[in-house]
Amino acid sequence: MQDKGATILAVDDSAATLEVISRNLAAAGYEVHTRGSVEEAGAFLDETPVDLIITDYKMPRANGLELIKHVRDNFRDTEIMMITGYPSVSGAVEAMRDGAGEYLAKPFTGEELLAAVRRILDKQARRRAAHDEKQEAGNFGIIGDCAEMQAVFALIRKASRTSANVFISGESGTGKELVARAVHYNSDRRAFAFVPVNCSAIPDTLLESELFGHVKGAFTGAKESRAGFFEIANGGTIFLDEIGDASPSMQAKLLRVMQSKEFSMVGSSRIRTVDTRIIAASHKNLRHLVDQGLFREDLFYRIHVIEIRLPSLAERGDDILMLASHFLHKFATDMNREVPRLTDEALEALQQYAWPGNVRELENLLQRLVIICDGPVIDVTDLPESMRFTITRSRHGDKTLAEVEAEHIRSVLARTGDNKTRAAEILGIDRKTLREKLKRLGLG
């Protein structure tokens, strides 16, 4: 996710270390600057914005911790990585408590350096995306910036310039009605009605009456004549959601109105003419339904003049974070409360999760979190257990057991302010066992 063009400042009193850092990161596509002291780094930062600072821990005069504090006070969006030839738990805890996002012990390989830089820039990119309140004005009010959504926007523009039938495919919860509305309200039909109809929510016995209307006395309970959705949408657009659930008889009636632009109200023999654009949608694979004899092939081709496929939320990368930011601001504003902030770990968990319910599931989750979380921060522990499991599995997938254990112990100690008694309680071990682990892992 991170920007390969990120600007990085390396600060170390060792020219050899600066050369190693500069050579490896420049080869990976980063813009790298180097300085030999905290004072020189401070002067550079006053003139040049950077995305990441890699600083040594021990240097003459001012040390790396002083640089971290200076950056945290003046450059909140800049990430910091601490490196040192004197690894210790207390040093790591102090650095991370003061704002360092990563802690790397010398000597380190080029691969270890690049992996740490990628991790910290990934966190920064997630945070920036999640707290970016800007909306894309040219995207029809639909939030999204990934390549898949750009393709959707391009098709919306093309479909809006015609009156051709449109079929929108995609999983449940991906926003098919939003796209249908975007096509309608950017077309020449925008001054007329947009009428959404959920074919799966209306019983088949009532669907014909709802779509085409009925005359008084057409059936029991028909006390007066009533126009149907097609007539209401005359001149505009009717959106037939979940058309794959329509019965064979209803499919035949829909085919007729698409072919002839004519229909009859239930209980009437009078032919009525209608000029209604049809946009249909389904989460089902209609081609498979055609092959199984469950959906008319001629109707399939009628509605498939233009197809717009919506990607699942899991396919949309950083869009997840943009949507999360949008929903946080929306629900917090609705509830007249401060907009809560998502921690880096919570952002990572949102992005790693599979989202079977797509955007609708994300929206429901963020609404629930805004309601139940009292403080200004939403952490990974506030998320459902399934999401916490996903991030744990993803983060540790390629690490040895010792590496995972060392990373977890460092993290717990940092959160407890190096309180070993409290850390041991959280880890579920006694203080003596913790000391032994720290010694064995080279963290003591």
Residue closest to 363 by CA, chosen among 323, 402, 423, 329: 323
SS3 241: strand
User: Cα separation of 193 and 84, whole Å?
Assistant: 66
Residue with the bigger pLDDT between 31 and 2: it is 31
Instruction: Locate 199 and state its tokens.
Output: 């074919």
Model confidence band, residue 33 (pLDDT cutoffs 50, 70, 90) = very high
Say whether domain 147-310 belongs to CATH 3.40.50.300. Answer: yes
User: Cα separation of 107 and 92, whole Å?
Assistant: 16
* pLDDT (0 to 100) of residue 135: 46
Q: Tell me the average pLDDT across 362-366.
A: 95
CA atoms within 13 A on the CB side of 70: 17
* pLDDT (0 to 100) of residue 136: 46
Q: Evaluate if residue 22 carries a pLDDT over 80.
A: yes
Please name the residue that has the structure tokens 């006390």: 223
Amino acid at 331: F
User: Cα separation of 108 and 281, whole Å?
Assistant: 54
Residue closest to 364 by CA, chosen among 143, 372, 170, 281: 372
User: Cα separation of 366 and 313, whole Å?
Assistant: 15
SS3 140: coil
Please name the residue that has the structure tokens 């921690």: 343
Question: Which residues are 105's β-sheet partners?
Answer: 84
Say whether domain 7-130 belongs to CATH 3.40.50.2300. Answer: yes
Please name the residue that has the structure tokens 């794959």: 244
User: Cα separation of 50 and 3, whole Å?
Assistant: 12
Q: Tell me the average pLDDT across 411-438.
A: 77
What CATH number belongs to 314-395?
1.10.8.60
Q: Tell me the average pLDDT across 422-435.
A: 80
Gyration radius (Cα) of the chain, Å: 29
Amino acid at 301: Y
CA end-to-end span of the chain, whole Å? Answer: 34
User: Cα separation of 8 and 31, whole Å?
Assistant: 6
Is residue 56 within 8 Å of 11, Cβ to Cβ? yes
Query: How far out from the chain centre does Cα 358 lie?
Result: 10
Q: How many helices (H) and strands (E) does the chain have?
A: 19, 14
CATH 3.40.50.2300 in the chain, residue ranges: 7-130
Instruction: Locate 177 and state its tokens.
Output: 């009605």
Task: For the chain, give the mean pLDDT.
Answer: 84
State how far the alpha carbon of 220 is from the alpha carbons of 16, 92, 263, 267, 377, in Å.
90, 78, 22, 11, 57
Q: What's the burial of 48, exposed, middle or buried (CB within 10 Å: 0-12/13-18/19+)?
A: exposed
Is residue 95 within 8 Å of 82, Cβ to Cβ? yes
* pLDDT (0 to 100) of residue 403: 67
CATH 1.10.10.60 in the chain, residue ranges: 401-440
Question: Which residues are 282's β-sheet partners?
Answer: 169
pLDDT tens digit sequence for 104-117: 777 888 888 888 88
Amino acid at 254: L
CATH 1.10.8.60 in the chain, residue ranges: 314-395
User: Cα separation of 61 and 279, whole Å?
Assistant: 70
Residue with the bigger pLDDT between 305 and 83: it is 305
User: Cα separation of 186 and 178, whole Å?
Assistant: 12
The secondary structure of 280-296 as a DSSP string is EEESS-HHHHHHTTSS-
Residue closest to 295 by CA, chosen among 246, 259, 253, 258: 246
Q: Tell me the average pLDDT across 293-297.
A: 95
Instruction: Locate 254 and state its tokens.
Output: 């829909």
Residue with the bigger pLDDT between 61 and 362: it is 362
Torsion of CA 436, 437, 439, 440, to 10 degrees: 110
Q: Evaluate if residue 151 carries a pLDDT over 70.
A: yes
pLDDT tens digit sequence for 93-103: 555 555 566 77
SS3 of the chain: helix, strand, coil, percent, to 5: 50, 15, 35
CATH 3.40.50.300 in the chain, residue ranges: 147-310
Residue with the bigger pLDDT between 219 and 303: it is 303
Highest mean pLDDT among 9-23, 154-168, 223-237, 315-329: 154-168
User: Cα separation of 415 and 182, whole Å?
Assistant: 47
Residue 330 makes CB contacts below 8 A (sequence gap 6+) with none
Strand 166-169, strand 194-198: pairing: unpaired
* pLDDT (0 to 100) of residue 110: 86
* pLDDT (0 to 100) of residue 401: 64
Domain 401-440: state its class: mainly alpha
